[in-house]
Structures are given as structure tokens and as C-alpha cells.
């Protein structure tokens, strides 16, 4: 077995200390002087930016901190993209529609590329080929409808799928799957508790948390957290009862969020995961309890939808969606084959200004019949490839992508972290499989600075 290259950060310092030289060949005093100069320059830059705009100074400070952390522990920076999917606060203008999770994913994708080894994961390579075909099809509508928002969305979707796969794969391949998923589950549990508290405080009105966390975002992210905790694959290695407690708290959070698509998607994910893992130890015992917990979620979703269908209120969510479906088809009829452009709702070319609350209608109006065929190929082929992966690694990946596709039939589809997290989970699953096949030690990596002691659970 060929030896794989490893980053020996800890082994470099003693050798440099013995030689009396720094990492760049400077002597001890020279290295100290260089460090002091760098700190001074950074301080001056931050002070100048603070005088211009405080936001610029904060952003620059975060970038400097991230660069410094990447120099010391690069894989910790890459792994931060997983819990960062819970940060949906918006940055910039509405035309760019960039979120914190988008920015982190963009940066960590480039940080992860040096550690990507596609030869170790044929399935990963095939998924990226399918993504290239999808992006090539969308490029036709970008060329046919040249405007800024169109091009931005093309790159956005490239990173939501491709960047997420790469980041997830590298995180698990280098042994950081447990740390990353623990942080994600811990953050999701906090949001679930916050959602429950807010629901009680407002007498069970529709939850709207700060920082852009509206009910559907909260429900969908908790949906993925529930499935991750429910499966708890062997390669994650959670022990004890903490992750189970977190799972049930997240179920309560979905209920408190009143997100119907999350309720339906979560029930579907648990059923599919149970059916595929019925022979795996532990899952069958947990499945009965959690399947029972899914029953009220499905009943509540069905009852509320039925009531809104029968209601005379033409502005409730069900009737509003029907109107949007009709208007999206009217937009599509203006350009059936290539569509009217990605993010057409940010332009003033049409009397309608909304993102269609359905994945197929969004692609049909945006990229026409070509775009619809492309997205069906992307998800259809990906699901086939992930289904063929051994159940120990492929179940989480297949279930996450299927849940996102099913849930996207009831709400807007290409939207920040809710579109990234299923592909991150798919990448993590494939990276864990590559780690088990190509390394003798498949144990999770230990985070530096004793961070592993604070990992969840």
C-alpha cells in the first residue's frame, strides 16, 4: 500500500527549533521581527478600515483570523463549512443574495482542493461529471440571457453542489467527520431549542427567528440533523445517549417550526433509512420510536394543508402557491427551450417577482426544457450512484439527496444552505468510505488545541 502524504505540522516545529530557523528559513530573531511586522501591518489596515466602515474592518479581521487558522490547522477550517450551513444571514445586496454559509463554502472549497484525491473515489468522480453536464446545460441559458444575476446563480449552483461534495469528501477523508457532524448537530439542537422557546412565547404562531432563519430554513436544516443522528453510522462513532437526545429535540423543533415540507421530508427520510438499514445493528431498535414520532408530523402536515385548501382565504400559503405555479408557467411560455434566465425574478422584465416554490417549475421557467432535463439528470443519476454505494456509507448520502429533492417539490429549490447540506453529507459519506479503504487507521482525527474534548456529544 502506497504511503499517503500527511501534513506533519507538529513534527516541523522541533526540527526548526533545533536548527534555529523559522519555517521560511529565517533565524529566530528574523522570524520574530517578521511576525511583529505582519501584526503591525494588519493592525494598521484594520484601523484604517474601521475609520471607513466598521463592517469592512470586521470582515477583514475575520479573513485574517481564517488565514492564520488555515496556516496552523487547514482541515479545521475546511470542516467549519459543515456547521456554517446553519448561518443563513445575508450579505450584500439582493442581486447577489450571498449568505454567510455561501461565503464560507466558497472559501473552504478552495481550501479543500489540495486534499482532494479523486482516484480514491470513483463514485465521487462520476458525481462531479454529472455536475459538469448539468452546468454545461445551464450555460446555454446564461449565454442566451446575459445579465449579472444569471451569471452569479450559475456559479452559485456550481459551488452548492460541487463545492459541497468536495468539502464533505475532504472532511471525512482526513478524519474530521465526527467533529464536523458533532458541531452541526450541536448547532441544530440549539436552533431547535430556540425555535421551541419562540413558539411557546408567541403562542405557537409561525416562527421567525433573527438572522434570516425563517420557518422553512429551520425545519429543513433540523430535518437533516434528525436523519444524521438517527443513522449514526459506525464511521461517525457517536456513543452514549447525547446524540439521541439531540435527535428528539430536533424533531420537536421541526414541529415547532410548522414547516410542512420539513415534516414530510423528515418522515420520508426516516422511512427510507429504516428500510435500507433494517439489517444494521441499533437502527432497528431506534426506528420504531422515531417512526412513531413521525406520525404526528405527517398528520399535522396533512390537516393544515387540507384546511388551507378548503379555506376561502385566497392568500394563504396553499392558494398562493397555486397562483405562483400558474404564473411560473406563463413565464416559461415566453421561452420554452432555454428559459428566461436564472434568477429572472430579480429583473424587471416580468410583472411577477417571486422564486417559484417548486424545483421543476423553477428550472422550467429559468432554463426551459433543457434545464428541466438537466436537473432531473443531476438528481436521478446521483441517486442511482449513491444507491449502489454499500449501505454502511451510502444510506446517509442517498437519503439526504432524496429528502432534498422531495422537499424541494413544496418550496423554493436553489437556496443557500438547504441546497448545500445534502451534498455535503453525500461527500462526507463517500470520503468516509475512501478513508476506510485507503488507510490503515480509520479513526477520527484529533482536533488540535484539545478541541476534541468539546465536540458533541
Digit-coded pLDDT (tens) for 431-442: 999 999 988 665
Final residue belonging to a domain, choices 72, 94, 122? 72
Residues 175 and 47 in one domain: no
Sign of CA dihedral 441, 445, 449, 452: negative
* Rounded distance between C-alpha atoms, residue 130 and residue 49, angstroms: 43
- Residues 59-70: tens digit of each pLDDT: 676 777 777 777
Residues 365 and 224 in one domain: yes
pLDDT of 24 over the 50 cut? no
Residues 54 and 101 in one domain: no
Q: Are 192 and 222 in contact (CB under 8 A)?
A: yes
User: In the prediction, which pLDDT does 287 show?
Assistant: 64
If one counts the domains in the chain, the total is 2
Look at residue 4 and tell me if it is in a domain: no
Residues 61 and 156 in one domain: no
Look at residue 179 and tell me if it is in a domain: yes
User: In the prediction, which pLDDT does 314 show?
Assistant: 66
* Rounded distance between C-alpha atoms, residue 420 and residue 134, angstroms: 16
What cell numbers appear for 138 in the block? 445551464
> Left, alpha or beta for 368 (phi > 0: left; psi -120 to 50: alpha)?
left
User: In the prediction, which pLDDT does 364 show?
Assistant: 94
132-141, 145-154, 349-358: which has the minimum mean pLDDT?
A: 349-358
Residues 54 and 171 in one domain: no
Average of per-residue pLDDT across 264-287 = 75
Residues 230 and 275 in one domain: yes
User: In the prediction, which pLDDT does 26 show?
Assistant: 46
Look at residue 312 and tell me if it is in a domain: yes
117-121, 203-207, 208-212, 277-281: which has the minimum mean pLDDT?
A: 277-281
Average of per-residue pLDDT across 370-392 = 96
Give the residue numbers spanning the domain of 59: 39-72
Average of per-residue pLDDT across 365-375 = 96
Q: What are phi and psi of 27, to 5 degrees?
A: -70, 175
Final residue belonging to a domain, choices 72, 93, 115? 72
Look at residue 267 and tell me if it is in a domain: yes
pLDDT of 387 over the 60 cut? yes
Look at residue 6 and tell me if it is in a domain: no
Final residue belonging to a domain, choices 51, 72, 93? 72
Residues 305 and 261 in one domain: yes
The residue ranking higher by pLDDT, 88 or 223, is 223
Residues 305 and 379 in one domain: yes
Look at residue 339 and tell me if it is in a domain: yes
Confidence of residue 413 (pLDDT cuts 50, 70, 90): confident
Share of the chain above pLDDT 70, in %: 77
Look at residue 372 and tell me if it is in a domain: yes
44-48, 101-105, 164-168, 400-404: which has the minimum mean pLDDT?
A: 44-48
Its pTM stands at: 0.85
Residues 172 and 193 in one domain: yes
Residues 164 and 243 in one domain: yes
Share of the chain above pLDDT 90, in %: 52
Residues 61 and 167 in one domain: no
Residues 103 and 67 in one domain: no
Look at residue 136 and tell me if it is in a domain: yes
Amino acid at each position: 500500500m502506497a504511503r499517503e502524504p500527511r501534513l506533519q505540522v507538529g513534527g516541523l516545529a522541533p526540527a526548526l527549533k533545533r536548527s534555529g530557523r523559522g519555517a521560511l528559513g529565517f533565524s529566530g530573531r528574523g522570524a520574530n521581527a517578521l511576525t511583529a511586522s505582519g501584526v503591525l501591518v494588519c493592525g494598521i489596515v484594520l484601523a484604517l478600515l474601521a475609520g471607513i466602515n466598521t463592517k469592512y474592518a470586521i470582515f477583514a479581521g475575520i479573513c485574517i483570523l481564517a488565514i492564520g487558522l488555515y496556516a496552523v490547522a487547514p482541515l479545521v477550517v475546511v470542516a467549519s463549512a459543515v456547521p456554517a450551513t446553519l448561518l443563513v444571514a445575508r450579505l450584500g445586496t439582493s442581486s447577489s443574495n450571498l449568505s454567510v454559509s455561501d461565503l464560507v463554502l466558497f472559501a473552504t472549497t478552495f481550501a479543500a482542493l489540495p486534499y482532494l484525491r479523486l482516484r480514491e473515489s470513483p463514485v465521487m468522480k462520476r458525481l462531479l461529471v454529472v455536475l459538469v453536464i448539468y452546468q454545461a446545460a445551464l450555460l446555454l441559458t446564461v449565454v442566451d440571457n446575459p445579465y449579472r444575476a444569471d451569471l452569479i446563480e450559475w456559479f452559485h449552483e456550481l459551488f452548492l453542489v460541487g463545492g459541497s461534495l468536495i468539502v464533505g469528501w475532504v472532511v471525512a477523508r482526513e478524519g474530521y467527520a465526527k467533529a464536523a457532524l458533532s458541531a452541526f448537530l450541536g448547532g441544530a439542537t440549539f436552533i431547535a431549542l430556540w425555535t421551541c422557546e419562540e413558539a411557546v412565547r408567541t403562542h405557537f404562531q409561525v416562527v421567525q427567528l433573527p438572522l434570516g432563519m425563517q420557518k422553512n430554513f429551520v425545519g429543513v436544516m433540523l430535518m437533516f440533523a434528525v436523519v444524521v443522528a438517527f443513522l449514526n453510522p459506525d464511521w461517525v462513532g457517536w456513543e452514549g445517549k447525547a446524540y439521541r437526545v439531540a435527535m428528539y429535540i430536533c424533531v420537536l423543533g421541526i414541529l415547532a417550526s410548522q414547516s410542512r415540507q420539513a415534516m414530510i421530508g423528515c418522515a420520508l427520510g426516516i422511512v427510507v433509512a429504516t428500510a435500507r438499514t433494517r439489517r444494521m445493528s441499533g437502527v432497528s431498535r431506534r426506528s420504531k420510536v422515531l417512526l412513531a414520532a413521525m406520525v404526528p408530523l405527517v398528520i399535522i402536515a396533512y390537516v393544515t394543508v387540507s384546511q388551507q385548501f378548503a379555506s376561502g382565504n385566497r392568500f394563504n400559503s396553499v392558494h398562493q402557491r397555486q397562483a405562483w405555479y400558474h404564473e411560473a408557467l406563463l413565464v416559461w411560455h415566453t421561452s420554452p427551450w432555454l428559459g428566461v434566465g436564472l434568477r429572472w425574478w430579480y429583473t424587471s422584465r416580468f410583472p411577477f417577482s417571486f422564486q417559484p416554490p417548486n424545483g421543476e417549475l423553477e428550472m422550467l421557467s429559468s432554463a426551459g426544457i433543457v434545464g428541466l432535463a438537466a436537473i432531473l439528470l443531476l438528481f436521478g443519476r446521483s441517486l442511482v450512484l449513491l444507491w449502489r454505494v454499500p449501505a454502511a456509507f451510502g444510506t446517509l448520502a442517498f437519503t439526504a439527496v432524496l429528502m432534498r429533492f422531495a422537499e424541494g417539490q413544496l418550496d423554493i429549490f436553489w437556496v443557500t444552505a438547504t441546497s448545500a447540506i445534502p451534498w455535503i453529507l453525500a461527500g462526507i459519506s463517500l470520503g468516509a468510505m475512501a478513508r476506510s479503504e485507503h488507510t490503515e487507521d480509520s479513526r477520527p482525527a484529533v482536533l488540535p488545541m484539545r478541541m476534541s474534548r468539546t465536540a458533541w456529544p
